[in-house]
Amino acid sequence: MIKPKKIPVIFLLLAVGSIVFWWYQQRNRPVEQDSSYQREMPVIAVQAVVSAIRDSIAVTGTAEAFRDVEIFSETRGLVRKVQVEVGDRKAAGAVLYIVDDELQRTLFEKAEASFEKAALDNVRYENLHREGAVALSALESVRLKREEAEADMIEARRNLRNTRIKTPVSGTVTEKIVDEGEMVQPGMRVANLVDLSRLRITFFLSEKEVSTILPGYPVRVISDQHPGKTLKGRVSSISGKAGMDRSYAAEAVLRNSTDFPLRAGMFVRVILSGEESREALMIPRTALAGSIMNPEVYVVHKGVARLRQIAAGKEYGDMLEILQGVAAGELVVTSGQHELRDGMKVRLVPQKKTESVR
């Protein structure tokens, strides 16, 4: 018969033995893998291919007039006649305003008469000096008066011409500031004119884009106002200093169309495309498992999907340039990758079959 004092000891020994036996069993049991690694995950995969591409950048720009000219009065007087209206097309040298010229014409005629008299005096003194009748100092004094009279006449002629306010360049009038009967003063702005025969297209490039674009680079310009129509030109300048948003101002010059002209201030789409193509390794944009900032793709090798870090280049529509991480001909998963984990077995599904199921 077991003594009552020994019963607790026996139960303690049995408990310890059970624990030791369970631990031994657990240690020797093979580790079961996740069931997801055992089954084959159906995916769609395509080969990474080398394609000929032409680098292009599309940005938004603004069309500006090649010349935007402010026209100022150089004379003082009353406007007698106005020969301009907003929207008029004017050639260089065309008269826009006629200012009262009575005073300026009188001053010019007086200066012209003074010059003619000084010129005659100069001829007479030249003859007298050759005969020895007058001293050289007297001849020089007459020559000086002739030159002063000529300068006064030139100034008076210029002032008379300034009573016809003209446009210095060809273009379209966008603003008429004074009307007939109003007074103008020297330096007063009287009109604005823009030359739209050529356009300046201003746009901005990022730090990455500006390193590949140089002056002379070809550009194509399209506008929503004229669908299907394209203007061509070249980059004329790129700023050497970035703005507050870290972008660089650039400008392209091109000839405006007479059939579908662009106007100053219009928004346009600027496409910068290289003249020469190059080869690049491409995969579908849908193959990305991570973000574009941390790009990763699943590469299928011998029925197993392996997650790889890649270096991505530019995007070309729905294709992505690969700089590093994938070799030409390797299979990259384009559908089903969001259910994958590194090392999982996969089963390739034809793309057409998947689309028919959908």
pLDDT digits (tens, 9 = 90+) for 5-22: 556 666 677 677 777 666
The dihedral of CA 34, 40, 44, 48: what is its sign?
Answer: positive
Q: Residue 303, by phi and psi: left (phi above 0), alpha (psi -120 to 50) or beta?
A: left
- Residue 142 pLDDT greater than 60, yes or no: yes
Query: Residues 6 or more apart from 2 whose CB is under 8 A from it?
Result: 10
Residue-wise pLDDT for 276-290, tens only, equals 677 889 999 888 887
d(CA 296, CA 337): 10
Comparing 33 with 72, the larger pLDDT belongs to 72
d(CA 221, CA 238): 17
How does the average pLDDT of the chain come out, rounded?
86
pLDDT at residue number 244:
86
- Residue 1 pLDDT greater than 70, yes or no: no
Q: How confident is the model at residue 217 (pLDDT cuts 50, 70, 90)?
A: confident
d(CA 232, CA 222): 9
**What value does the mean pLDDT take over residues 25-40?**
57
Q: How confident is the model at residue 167 (pLDDT cuts 50, 70, 90)?
A: very high
- Per-state percent for the chain, helix, strand, coil, to nearest 5: 30, 40, 35
pLDDT at residue number 7:
62
pLDDT at residue number 200:
93
pLDDT at residue number 161:
95
Of the ranges 161-175, 209-223, 344-358, which one carries the lowest mean pLDDT score?
344-358
d(CA 65, CA 254): 10
Q: How confident is the model at residue 176 (pLDDT cuts 50, 70, 90)?
A: very high
Comparing 103 with 291, the larger pLDDT belongs to 103
The dihedral of CA 202, 208, 214, 218: what is its sign?
Answer: negative
- Residue 354 pLDDT greater than 50, yes or no: no
The domains found in the chain, sorted by start residue, are 41-52+279-357 (2.40.420.20), 57-65+196-273 (2.40.30.170), 101-162 (1.10.287.470)
- The percentage of the chain sitting over the pLDDT mark of 70, rounded to a whole number, equals 87
pLDDT at residue number 340:
87
Comparing 76 with 339, the larger pLDDT belongs to 76
Candidate ranges 98-107, 273-282, 283-292; pick with highest mean pLDDT: 98-107
- Residue 29 pLDDT greater than 60, yes or no: no
Beta sheet of 311-316, edge-to-edge order: 49-53, 278-284, 319-324, 311-316
Candidate ranges 95-99, 135-139, 208-212, 254-258; pick with highest mean pLDDT: 95-99
pLDDT at residue number 356:
37
**What value does the mean pLDDT take over residues 135-141?**
90
Contact indicator for 219, 59 with CB cutoff of 8 Å: no
- Residue 125 pLDDT greater than 50, yes or no: yes
pLDDT at residue number 24:
67
How many CB atoms within 10 Å of residue 170?
16
| pTM, rounded to two decimals | 0.58
Of the ranges 157-161, 245-249, 264-268, 317-321, which one carries the lowest mean pLDDT score?
317-321
How many CB atoms within 10 Å of residue 212?
13
pLDDT at residue number 31:
46
End-to-end CA distance of the chain: 78
Using CA atoms, how far residue 52 sits from 218, 220, 276, 321, 355, in Å, is 19, 21, 10, 11, 28
- If you ran DSSP here, which 8-state letter would residue 345 be given? B
